Amino acid sequence: MRTLAGQFNLTVSPRTYQPCCKFRNRFRSVGHLKININKSIDLDELRKRNQGVKKGGFWTPHDCPPRSRVIIIVPHRNRWSHLIQWLAHYHPILQRQKLEYRIVVTEQVQRNLFNKGRLYNAAFLECERAFDFDCVIFHDVDMLLENDHNMYWCYNMTRPRHLSPAVDKFRYQLPYHILVGGVLAMTRHMFKRVNGFSNQFWGWGGEDDDMWGRLVAVNTTVDRPHPTIGRYTMIKHRTRKGERNFMLTYRLVLLATSGSRWSRDGLNDVRDYCKLTQVAHEPLFTHFVFDVGNQPRQKPRNT
């Protein structure tokens, strides 16, 4: 007897029978979120609230196969209260979005200038060694999402996605077209394609503008959610005295050379500068600490 499937050469994969995490109606998203900055929240209480989260800050949905396996990398320094608020805010959102995710906090040993590019690159390489993922989100610790329809995934992504075009500090408007700082989602493949971030930016700012140059160098740019969805509250804090202006010319010289530098400054040489000094699988996040080396005394050469 010929079966209907045989007659029409039908193949049915068992996966199609499973409910699928890609459908919006499976998310328990609530849309616009009230940002409640609760300074008294402590880690023990947070742990109790997030008992489904595995050690190292890993979570995966049980009722459907996830559409994206995401690593969220959050650089951090001396902002413990921001980090607690960040964790309190994002764990519930990411679970409602039905993602498989891991939170990775990356910190530097050095107490002088921050090197965000090195921290992102080094954490990414450690994640590649240890975890299975297809999507990576680079996330400032002071950015709190105001609308959970803004998906933290790389599902069907054709270009990197700048998730934070509308920040309260900039009156919910993109300050300039090439800005990709704040929150940026990329496939693992695309991040490797652009050789990660530059390792040469010290102190506040610039490494994100350099990333734009890298994207352009490989013939792409970014997508962005609509500003009503890509909305964020930036937790207020004081920038260290003078840090913004410090080495401004240094950053400008570097930016002028993005196009010629990107293929030899990034993921492929970060191990020359950065050493992993500590790994901890905390209840709500994986914690990496890196020795990022010393900042150069001289200005960069104009190459």
237 is catalytic: yes
CB of 165 to ligand BGN, least distance (A): 12
Strands 286-291 and 231-234 come out as: unpaired
Note whether 103 and 285 are within 8 A (CB).
yes
Determine, following the binding rule CB under 6 A, whether residue 146 of this chain makes contact with ligand BGN: no
Checking 6-14 for CB contacts under 8 A at 24+ apart, the result is: none
Residues that bind ligand BGN (rule: CB under 6 A) add up to a total of 7
How many whole angstroms separate alpha carbon 222 and alpha carbon 180?
Answer: 8
How many whole angstroms separate alpha carbon 288 and alpha carbon 237?
Answer: 24
From the list 274, 289, 286, 132, the residue with the least C-alpha distance to 197 is 274
Nearest position to ligand BGN, beta carbon:
205
Determine, following the binding rule CB under 6 A, whether residue 256 of this chain makes contact with ligand BGN: no
For 162-177, give one letter per residue: b (16+ CB within 10 A) or e. Answer: bbbbbbeebeeebeee
CB of 252 to ligand BGN, least distance (A): 6
Determine, following the binding rule CB under 6 A, whether residue 252 of this chain makes contact with ligand BGN: yes
134 is catalytic: no
Residue 187 CA: distances (Å) to CA of 5, 125, 161, 232: 37, 14, 9, 22
Among 181, 213, 225, 230, binds ligand BGN (CB under 6 A): 181
In this structure, what token pair is assigned to residue 76?
């951090």
The 1-40 site mask, x for binding ligand BGN (CB under 6 A), equals ----------------------------------------
The string of DSSP codes covering 216-230 is HHTT---B---TTTS
Among 107, 142, 148, 208, binds ligand BGN (CB under 6 A): 208
CB of 170 to ligand BGN, least distance (A): 8
301 is catalytic: no
Among 251, 261, 262, 288, binds ligand BGN (CB under 6 A): 251
- Interacting stretch for ligand BGN, rule CB under 6 A, among 73-81, 117-125, 203-211, 261-269? 203-211
Enzyme catalytic residues: 140, 142, 204, 207-208, 234, 237-238
**Which residues lie near ligand BGN (CB under 6 A)?**
181, 205-206, 208-209, 251-252
